[in-house]
């Protein structure tokens, strides 16, 4: 019994001779198909010796080409990135067909109240009417608004769910619930007309329980919990690249499937993809208990509305205890979120702005814009997956060398101080929770020992200059005079797209482990608010300047706002060297200790 439980947790450990002998005897008396004696529970040495002892035929041996076995051999980081790509692709399958579905359903609804045209010329489309186009735009706008509102609520719900059941089960909910939503949307496609439109709009209420905002937050939380501090920022960037790559693949394949096999097929493929994603999350992602996310705190977490809105508390000024014992307020997180909001306001509209400018000035058609957006997404994915991690790695070394020349001591990371992920692997039996139920055969989360020495000051340095580079590249787009200039701009702008992952890396370093999930939740909320604001703000600015005959000036307005965001981030700094962050839980514990001490003295 002891060998079966400890051997998977301690790959280099060995059992006693008596236990091993007992195990071999039990294997001789048990059928090879018994679930308690599979090859997965044996180390390679034990499996080899047992196969030689029993002289099993080659056909009974486990094939090394088993896809599941190969996937489990991948690193945790790689499995998380694959999950991000798979889930994003599942969400993106229906993004292109859904607008065309609304167009067809609006056409059916229009002709259910109006007579069909008696004579149409060859190749003419009876749905090509201004009334149908206006109705489609109106209904689709309501769909987008409801998706945004429900997605914001889903952000809070996902953060609350992570604390209750853990990130892996919460992520499974974020993929299983959209499968139900897509299945309901298939019924809307079959119904058609006004009934189909109502069904589609009603299904957005399901987004509250599982949607495209919550799963991004949860995957970022998993990265923050599992990945070592020095690797977080690069992995956040690669994660963002996988999101972009999944979108590009989903948009392309979803449209092709709809054109080739009918408008209903992309929704059916998305339903199957969500189910596959749910199984993948359960089998491949590491299990992180909700208790381990509190940084070892035994304090009971807030419940009800207070727990639901806990991410908003992260935006409040932090209390920091200096090395001298003095307590001060630190505004680094608040200023960081303000700069990120302005940065999203400036940068997130870039893709749409290029598309609108190319259509208005260079007469880009639908196919031209399709290639333009595909190029933008693919170049951004390539930069974030391949180049961004190298920039962070080499940049940290350069920055550390530069700081050492100025004789500045390395900052002790708040995130490292009480982070279980930097304290080594728990190997004592009393330190491990007893396996229960289905968790008995789970792969344990292999945390990284605290041997990292890279300073993360460069992440904040990179965040500022990334916005400066984005502003310069955006302003250069206004100089475009030919079509190929637009394609060149779409290829160059993604090279300044490391703002979001760098901000997440800095945010996790500024907060304690107990606040990490709420910090990522708050940052995602700030990004979503900025994303909504930029659509309205720059949409109005572009319309006003286009009416004046100077739409290119919108790029300069965008660049100026990016420079303002970089200027705000200059005032965002890490806590002073040697300082410690005072959590609300610690303050409560100190008060409890004082009360208990006084009662004992009495």
Dump pLDDT digits (tens) for 21-51. Answer: 444 444 344 444 444 444 444 444 444 444 4
Give the DSSP letter of residue 511.
S
Question: Residue 437: what are its φ and ψ, rounded to 5°?
Answer: 60, -130
Say how many Å lie between the first and final Cα of the chain, rounded: 50
Give the DSSP letter of residue 410.
P
pLDDT in tens, 177-226: 999 999 999 999 999 888 999 999 898 888 889 888 899 999 999 998 88
> Region 300-323: what's the mean pLDDT?
71
CA distances 320 to 16, 346, 511, Å, are: 50, 32, 11
**Better pLDDT: 298 or 151:** 151
For the ranges 11-25, 305-319, 422-436, 514-528, the one whose mean pLDDT is highest:
514-528
Lowest model confidence (mean pLDDT) among 96-100, 420-424, 567-571 = 420-424
Whether residue 294 contacts residue 514, with contact meaning beta carbons closer than 8 Å, is answered with: yes
* Structure confidence at residue 562 (pLDDT): 93
pLDDT at 569 over 80: yes
> Region 515-521: what's the mean pLDDT?
83
pLDDT at 277 over 90: yes
* Structure confidence at residue 86 (pLDDT): 95
* Structure confidence at residue 143 (pLDDT): 83
Distance separating alpha carbons of residues 446 and 10, to the nearest angstrom: 10
For the ranges 272-281, 309-318, 368-377, the one whose mean pLDDT is highest:
272-281
**Better pLDDT: 125 or 63:** 125
Whether residue 202 contacts residue 142, with contact meaning beta carbons closer than 8 Å, is answered with: no
Sorted by sequence, the CB contacts under 8 Å of residue 347 that are 6+ apart come out as 467, 470, 474, 496, 497, 499, 558, 562
> Region 523-537: what's the mean pLDDT?
84
Q: What is the DSSP string of 143-203?
A: HHHHHHHHHHHHHHHHHHHHHHH-HHHHHHHHHHHHHHHHHHHHHHHHH-HHHHHHHHHHH
Distance separating alpha carbons of residues 128 and 136, to the nearest angstrom: 11
**Better pLDDT: 585 or 125:** 125
pLDDT at 55 over 70: no
CA distances 366 to 100, 132, 153, 222, 358, Å, are: 13, 19, 33, 38, 11
Distance separating alpha carbons of residues 8 and 13, to the nearest angstrom: 9
Backbone Cα Rg of the chain: 28
pLDDT in tens, 65-90: 566 666 667 888 899 999 999 999 99
Q: Could you give the 3-state DSSP secondary structure of residue 94?
A: coil
> Region 339-349: what's the mean pLDDT?
90
Strand pairing class (327-330; 580-582): unpaired
Whether residue 388 contacts residue 238, with contact meaning beta carbons closer than 8 Å, is answered with: yes
Distance separating alpha carbons of residues 315 and 526, to the nearest angstrom: 10
Distance separating alpha carbons of residues 489 and 353, to the nearest angstrom: 12
**Better pLDDT: 562 or 41:** 562
pLDDT at 58 over 60: no
The first and second tokens of residue 270, run together, are 């998305």
Whether residue 353 contacts residue 559, with contact meaning beta carbons closer than 8 Å, is answered with: no
* Fold topology of 328-415+455-594: Growth Hormone; Chain: A; (1.20.1250)
Whether residue 155 contacts residue 217, with contact meaning beta carbons closer than 8 Å, is answered with: yes
**Better pLDDT: 88 or 147:** 88
The CA-based dihedral angle spanning residues 336, 342, 346, 349, taken in that order and rounded to the nearest 10 degrees: 100
Sorted by sequence, the CB contacts under 8 Å of residue 181 that are 6+ apart come out as 203, 206, 207, 210
* Structure confidence at residue 251 (pLDDT): 81
**Better pLDDT: 594 or 235:** 235
CA distances 412 to 266, 454, 456, 457, 574, Å, are: 50, 11, 10, 11, 10
pTM for this predicted structure: 0.70
The domain defined by 72-113+128-295+303-310 carries CATH number 3.40.30.10: no
Give the DSSP letter of residue 296.
T
Distance separating alpha carbons of residues 84 and 465, to the nearest angstrom: 27
* Structure confidence at residue 82 (pLDDT): 94
Whether residue 230 contacts residue 399, with contact meaning beta carbons closer than 8 Å, is answered with: no
CA distances 289 to 215, 403, 437, 598, Å, are: 17, 38, 14, 36
Segments in 32-166 forming alpha helices (H): 44-54, 67-72, 76-92, 95-111, 130-165
pLDDT in tens, 427-456: 333 443 433 333 334 444 544 444 344 567
How many residues would you count in the chain? 602
User: What is the share, in percent, of the chain residues with pLDDT greater than 70?
Assistant: 72
- Measured in whole angstroms, the distance separating CA 349 from the mean position of its chain's CA atoms is 20
* Structure confidence at residue 69 (pLDDT): 65
* Structure confidence at residue 532 (pLDDT): 80
Segments in 422-481 forming alpha helices (H): 457-477
Is 328-415+455-594 the same fold as 72-113+128-295+303-310? Answer: yes
> Region 115-144: what's the mean pLDDT?
75
Q: Which of 94, 288, 304, 245 is nearest to 181 (CA)?
A: 94
Q: Where are the domains of the chain?
A: 2-62, 72-113+128-295+303-310, 328-415+455-594
Whether residue 410 contacts residue 400, with contact meaning beta carbons closer than 8 Å, is answered with: yes
Distance separating alpha carbons of residues 167 and 214, to the nearest angstrom: 11
Sorted by sequence, the CB contacts under 8 Å of residue 218 that are 6+ apart come out as 158, 162, 167, 170, 171, 174
> Region 565-574: what's the mean pLDDT?
91
For the ranges 58-62, 122-126, 231-235, 273-277, the one whose mean pLDDT is highest:
273-277
**Better pLDDT: 581 or 462:** 462
**Better pLDDT: 489 or 372:** 489
* Structure confidence at residue 401 (pLDDT): 85
* Structure confidence at residue 407 (pLDDT): 54
The first and second tokens of residue 135, run together, are 């109705």
Q: Which of 209, 260, 220, 264 is nearest to 88 (CA)?
A: 220
Q: What is the mean pLDDT of the chain?
A: 76
pLDDT at 106 over 90: no
Distance separating alpha carbons of residues 294 and 512, to the nearest angstrom: 9
């Amino acid at each position: 019994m002891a060998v079966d439980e400890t051997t998977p947790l301690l790959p280099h450990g060995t059992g006693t001779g008596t236990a091993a002998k007992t195990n071999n005897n039990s294997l001789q008396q048990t059928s090879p198909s018994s679930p308690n004696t599979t090859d997965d529970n044996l180390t390679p040495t034990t499996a080899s010796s047992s196969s030689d002892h029993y002289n099993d035929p080659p056909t009974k041996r486990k094939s090394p080409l088993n896809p599941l076995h190969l996937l489990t051999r991948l690193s945790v980081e790689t499995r998380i990135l694959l999950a991000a790509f798979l889930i994003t692709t599942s969400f993106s399958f229906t993004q292109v067909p859904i607008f065309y579905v609304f167009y067809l359903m609006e056409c059916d609804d229009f002709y259910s109240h109006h007579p069909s045209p008696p004579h149409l010329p060859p190749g003419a489309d009876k749905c090509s009417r201004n009334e149908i186009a206006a109705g489609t735009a109106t209904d689709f706008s309501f769909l987008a608004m409801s998706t945004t509102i429900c997605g914001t609520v889903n952000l809070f719900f996902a953060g609350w769910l992570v604390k209750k059941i853990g990130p892996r089960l919460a992520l499974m909910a974020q993929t299983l619930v959209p499968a139900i939503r897509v299945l309901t949307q298939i019924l809307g496609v079959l119904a058609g007309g006004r009934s189909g439109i109502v069904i589609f709009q009603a299904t957005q209420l399901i987004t509250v329980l599982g949607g495209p905002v919550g799963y991004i937050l949860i995957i970022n939380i998993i990265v923050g919990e599992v990945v070592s501090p020095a690797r977080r920022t690069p992995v956040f960037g690669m994660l963002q690249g996988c999101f972009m790559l999944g979108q590009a693949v989903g948009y392309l394949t979803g449209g092709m499937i709809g054109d080739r096999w009918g408008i209903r097929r992309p929704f059916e493929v998305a339903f199957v993809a969500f189910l596959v994603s749910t199984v993948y999350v359960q089998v491949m992602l590491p299990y992180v208990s909700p208790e381990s996310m509190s940084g070892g705190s035994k304090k009971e977490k807030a419940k009800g509305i207070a727990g639901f809105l806990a991410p908003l508390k992260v935006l409040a000024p932090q209390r920091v205890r200096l090395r001298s014992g003095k307590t001060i307020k630190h505004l680094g997180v608040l200023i960081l979120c303000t700069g990120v909001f302005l940065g999203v306001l400036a940068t997130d509209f870039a893709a749409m702005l290029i598309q609108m400018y190319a259509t208005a000035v260079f007469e880009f058609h639908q196919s031209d814009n399709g290639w333009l957006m595909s190029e933008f997404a693919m170049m951004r994915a390539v930069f974030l997956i391949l180049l961004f991690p190298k920039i962070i790695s080499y940049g940290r070394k350069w920055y550390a060398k530069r700081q050492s020349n100025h004789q500045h001591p390395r900052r002790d990371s708040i995130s490292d101080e009480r982070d279980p992920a930097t304290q080594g692997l728990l190997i004592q039996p009393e330190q491990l929770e007893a396996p229960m139920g289905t968790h008995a055969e789970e792969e344990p989360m292999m945390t990284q020992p605290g041997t990292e020495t890279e300073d993360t000051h460069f992440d904040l340095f990179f965040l500022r200059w990334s916005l400066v580079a984005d502003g310069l590249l955006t302003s250069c787009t206004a100089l475009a005079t030919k079509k190929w200039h637009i394609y060149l701009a779409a290829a160059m702008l993604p090279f300044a797209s490391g703002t979001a992952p760098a901000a997440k890396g800095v945010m996790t370093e500024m907060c304690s482990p107990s606040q990490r999930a709420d910090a990522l939740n708050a940052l995602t909320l700030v990004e979503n608010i900025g994303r909504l604001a930029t659509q309205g703000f720059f949409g109005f600015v572009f319309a006003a300047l286009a009416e004046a005959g100077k739409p290119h000036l919108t790029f300069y307005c965008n660049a100026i706002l990016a420079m303002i965001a970089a200027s705000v981030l200059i005032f965002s700094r890490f806590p002073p060297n040697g300082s410690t962050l005072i959590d609300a839980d610690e303050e409560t514990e100190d008060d409890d200790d004082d009360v208990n001490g006084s009662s004992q003295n009495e």
